[in-house]
Amino acid sequence: MSALFIVIVALIVLAAAVFAIWPVLRCAGRGRFVLAAAVLLFVVGIGAGAYLTLGRPALAVRTLEGTNAHDLAGLVPLLVKRVHQDPGDLRAWTYLGRAYVTLGDNNNAARAFARAIALDASNAELYSAYGESLVAQSGGAVPPEAEAAFQKALTISPKDQAARYYLGFAYVARGDKGKAIALWQSLLDEAPPDAKYRQELEMRIAALSRAKK
């Protein structure tokens, strides 16, 4: 591994970190430094950890997904402290919800996303994330509250992928196979040829189509 290559990777991670914390530093209040430090540690930790483990520097710029509990060990307490200091910090609630999802704490993830939605009711991704947390809590079923969240996400953003995917299961549970097929077919039509989820969608659509006959 050349020194130049290591420097390039370090610069990528640094650029990702600056990009992530700059909006935080522009916010008012002393607590922004706590959140900025948390995000900085998170981004650098994910980038370095992913690279050292997999040897794939492209992963260095990924944030808030694909990480593990070890990466989050120091992040959640900092985020909890931040939202206690400033309950109106949308970014902190969103980061906290995603961190809880990664840790498998779906109950607290749902609570964090609910607080984020209370601060920004126009964000489709927040509704989808909230709905997904509720689905995970219920062991894969789509409870009414989750379905309402996904419907709201689609109202805001008709192309929201997570909402369409999970609403398909809600329709199947009610016996409305036609609506489920329509939603999943719309996802399949938009999926890249090499998308890993294409096969799953094709199998589910085929099974429902046979069941309708």
55's tokens = 């040897």
Determine the pLDDT at residue 172.
95
- Report the candidate in 174, 167, 203 with the shortest Cα–Cα distance to residue 188: 203
The pLDDT score that the predictor gives to residue 132 is: 95
- List, as one string, the DSSP characters of 67-122: --HHHHTTHHHHHHHHHHH-TT-HHHHHHHHHHHHHHT-HHHHHHHHHHHHHH-TT
Per-residue model confidence (pLDDT) at position 126: 96
Q: What is the pLDDT of residue 171?
A: 96
166 vs 146: CA distance, rounded Å: 9
Query: What is residue 44's predicted lDDT score, i.e. its pLDDT?
Result: 47
| pLDDT at res. 181 | 96
Q: How many CA atoms lie within 13 A of 62 on its CB side?
A: 13
Give CA–CA dist 42/24, Å, rounded: 14
Contacts of residue 39, defined as CB under 8 A and 6 or more positions apart, other chains included, come to 17, 20, 21, 24, 95
CA distance 138 to 149: 15
Mean pLDDT per 10-residue section of the chain, whose length is 213 residues: 40 44 46 51 44 31 43 77 94 91 92 97 96 95 97 96 95 94 95 90 93 72
Rounded to two decimals, the pTM is 0.69
43 C-beta neighbours (distance < 10 Å), count: 24
Q: Side-chain half-sphere of 203: how many Cα atoms within 13 Å? A: 5
Residues 6+ apart with CB under 8 A from 88: 119
Tokens found for residue 150: 């996904």
* Measured distance CA(151)–CA(1) in Å, rounded: 49
* Spatial contact of 181 and 205, defined as CB atoms under 8 Å apart: yes
